[in-house]
Amino acid sequence: MCFSKLFKKKEELPADYPVYQIRWEDLKTVMDSYNLELMLKDQFKPDSYIYFTGRLDWDKLLPYLTYSAELYAEVERRDCDDYSKKASADAAWLFGLGCIQVWGDTPYGRHAFNLVITSPTTVKIFEPNAGFECAGELMDLENEYGWKADSWKP
């Protein structure tokens, strides 16, 4: 696969979506309410604010944060945490939004995927690897696919 196909021209990206912000301390409180464990020491604070958009707007952006399963390398050179990192980085670079890495249990075993904020008190998860049946779909933390996040880091 040609890696240049992974990058979209700025003109091809959705540009009309509202951007909201949540303070880091408030995000930690929200994540605690979902029983998600922060994987950083308390004294680390990566940003003062995390930026997000609403659920319907995330639905428009997720196709740009969902990648071909062909990128996966069997020897773990590129695996689930790399897909999650890429989605997180691309959300920041392409859209100026926070897309958080999460880890948890799935029917396939332990796995890394992503979480987005859709309101000041609501978060959703999604899988960035198109090889999974739920890829690119926003899901509740308790969902019909059996995916459950338990830890996170920005």
Are 83 and 65 a contacting pair, CB within 8 Å?
Answer: no
Residue 73 has pLDDT above 80, yes or no: no
Spell out where the chain has E strands: 20-23, 37-38, 49-52, 100-106, 109-119, 122-126, 148-153
Residue 8 lies in a domain: no
Residue 103 has pLDDT above 80, yes or no: yes
Mean pLDDT of the chain: 89
Angstrom distance (rounded) from CA 136 to CA 148:
16
Tally the domains of the chain: 1
Give the CATH number, domain containing residue 101: 3.30.460.70
Using one digit for the tens of pLDDT, what is the confidence trace for 14-72?
889 999 999 999 999 999 999 999 998 877 777 789 999 999 999 999 999 999 887 66
List the strands of the sheet with 37-38, edge to edge.
Answer: 37-38, 148-153, 100-106, 109-119, 122-126
Residue 144 lies in a domain: yes
Token digits for 112? 């890394």
Q: Nearest-5° angle of CA 8, CA 14, CA 84?
A: 60
pLDDT level of residue 97 (50, 70, 90 thresholds):
very high
Residue 95 lies in a domain: yes
Residue 52 lies in a domain: yes
